[in-house]
Structure 1
Amino acid sequence: MHAVISVSQLQQQFNDPKRVIIDCRHDLSDPQAGRNAYLTSHIKGAQFLHLDEDLAGVLTGKNGRHPLPDPALLAKKLGALGIDAQSHVVAYDASGGPFAARLWFLLRWLGFERCQVLDGGWAAWLQAEGALASGPATVSVQTEFLVQLQPDYMVTADAVLANLSTPQFTVIDARSAERFAGRGETLDPVGGHIPGAKNRFFMLNLDQGYFKSSEQLHQEWRDLMGEIPSTEWVQQCGSGVTACHNLLAMEVAGFKGGRLYAGSWSEWCSDTSRPMVLSSELA
């Protein structure tokens, strides 16, 4: 199954009873904006999952701004939305795909691969005059979502720390070049990046709101990474969300084996004993 799906493809299979559409719209500066937008208008039949409440876990102050959710709790929520092993999940947002990609990757982490991200998201659906609805959608049948956790899809802060002295993989930071350089940091208390990390701003995966072709993405990623095998690519960002967009782009480009450092910079910089390349060193 291809990692992204076009509006026209979704419209063709719109009446498939096993298709479950998930609205993942979110605004980091206004956490309730996504739910409010969903209740006002959404793709007909779509359910809603909240980044902070559903697609992230409990904050401790040391595990980043969007730690991984508890797998069993997320599985219970997915089952309540009618998602089981035979379902086909389509996720969308209104921000170019990072929040939808977060769900896409979490599902893969749980052992479920029948998920796609809607290319162009909410704007593309509106432009195509796709079917809309308002208010909460009903769930016809609740089911059980069985977890087959894939721990190898993730790396921990300890693994990233160990990698600094004994390199086994390359870290790729999905934040903007400005934030990577430690300039204009507004979300985390420290500006900078993990030593040795490369930078690939997630928005570079898009062209006018749509994913670039697989061929173009393949070439751009190869230009960045050279001959480093994709199994040695670890994606991170500020909190483990936009990094999922890079993982999705890898999939579109035909690169397999990418992993996520979910805690990302917000977890890394919470411990001042960890090595950091700070903005002052980049001046």
Structure 2
Amino acid sequence: MRIILNSENLNKLPEDTIYFHVASSDDNKNKKEYINNHIKNARFISFEDDLVGDIGIHGGRHPLPDMKKFSEKIMDFGVNGETPVLVYGKNSFTDASRLWWMLESIGIKNCHILYGTLDSYMYEGKTTESGEVLYTPSQKRDLSLNNNKLLNYEDVKSIIHDDKYIIIDSRDSQRYEGLIDPVDNHPGHIPSAINKHYEELLLGQNPPSIDDINNFFKDIDKDKNILLYCGSGVTAGANAIYLKEIGIEYYIYPGSYSDWITYPGAIIELGAYFGE
């Protein structure tokens, strides 16, 4: 079964699939919207409160939370390493993709994501539920962080000119090339990174096909190690999902560009990168 599913495919998931509703925050508005409308038995996840930690000097705009506590919370929701999971965003596919790669990093292998959002799902006339969701914490407490997939500044610095790696910047071309950067105010990209704007595969009414994804990455040497980053570790999740769809593993830089630029002496390149 595909990782990215449209609304028509949700009924093909096993009955014990656990759904996660990703909202932007844990405020009253988002909680009320969740109570009123969610996909069957979906657990509530707040992007700002559950998927992001405390902002410091380093770590970027959306630093990782304490991953041990995150893992414990996911198990409290009833998830273990064998549980099928589907994540969806209330109004953001990429917020849900952040949860997707974080779940991957703690050992969730059978994880899917809804193409689009809950808003588009409801626009299609699909059925939702209301009310609180009851769940039983998992008795199998075996989730643990796979640190090998998550790279930090020093890791990335050591591979920027290592020909065994390909570094992919998932932002739009203007931010990548340094023409503008209204978000991080330091235009440019990490040295040797190439640009693959995640949104190019989200423009259609249906999920991108496997052929679409292969074509998107046709110039990538798939035998090399692939490192993904974006502005702050959110939209790179979409590219992580695409790669996984075609059987390619990835590394991810959670702090991404907004972490990179906080280090004195960090090198920034402008323009497109065409290799050495």
TM-score by length of 1: 0.85
Q: Within 5 A, what are the aligned runs for 1:72-83?
A: 72-83=68-79
Q: Which string of whole-angstrom CA distances, capped at 9 and with x for unpartnered residues, describes residues 61-92 of structure 1?
A: 21111222322101121122121234221101
Other structure's SS at 2:113 match? strand
Q: Percent identity?
A: 24
Q: 1:41 aligns with which of 37, 42, 45?
A: 37
1:193 matches 2:178: no
Which residue does 2:134 correspond to in 1? 139
Contact 1:98 1:242 in 2 (8 A): yes
- Give the AA of the match of 2:260: W
Which residue does 2:22 correspond to in 1? 24
Which residue does 1:217 correspond to in 2? 213
Contact 2:160 2:167 in 1 (8 A): no
Q: Within 5 A, what are the aligned runs for 1:249-268?
A: 249-252=242-245, 254-268=246-260
- Give the AA of the match of 1:2: R
Alpha-carbon deviation of 1:205? 1.7
Which residue does 1:3 correspond to in 2? 3
Which residue does 2:234 correspond to in 1? 241
Q: 2:192, 2:236 → 1: CA distance?
A: 17
Q: 1:265, 1:113 → 2: CA distance?
A: 27
Q: 1:62, 1:113 → 2: CA distance?
A: 29
CA gap of 1:155–1:231, structure 2 versus 1, over 3 A, is farther
Which residue does 2:199 correspond to in 1? 203
Matched residue count = 270
Q: Which string of whole-angstrom CA distances, capped at 9 and with x for unpartnered residues, describes residues 171-204 of structure 1?
A: 1111111211223422213121111111111111
Other structure's SS at 1:133 match? coil
Structure 1 residues not aligned, in runs of 5+: none
Q: 2:160, 2:81 → 1: CA distance?
A: 39
TM-score by length of 2: 0.87
Q: 2:253, 2:67 → 1: CA distance?
A: 16
Alpha-carbon deviation of 1:121? 2.9
Q: 1:276 aligns with which of 258, 268, 275?
A: 268
Q: 1:56, 1:149 → 2: CA distance?
A: 16
- Give the AA of the match of 1:143: S
Structure 1 stretch 172-181 or stretch 260-269: which is displaced more? 172-181
Which residue does 1:55 correspond to in 2? 51
Q: Which string of whole-angstrom CA distances, capped at 9 and with x for unpartnered residues, describes residues 122-173 of structure 1?
A: 24421442222345x3223122442233222122211211123444312111
Alpha-carbon deviation of 1:244? 0.9
Q: 1:147, 1:111 → 2: CA distance?
A: 6
Structure 1 stretch 258-267 or stretch 48-57: which is displaced more? 48-57
CA gap of 1:268–1:33, structure 2 versus 1, over 3 A, is farther
Q: 2:165, 2:88 → 1: CA distance?
A: 30
Q: 1:33, 1:195 → 2: CA distance?
A: 41
Contact 1:231 1:256 in 2 (8 A): no
Which residue does 2:108 correspond to in 1? 112
CA gap of 1:213–1:36, structure 2 versus 1, over 3 A, is same
Q: 1:13, 1:63 → 2: CA distance?
A: 36
- Give the AA of the match of 1:4: I
- Give the AA of the match of 1:45: N
Q: 1:37, 1:171 → 2: CA distance?
A: 38
Contact 1:181 1:192 in 2 (8 A): yes
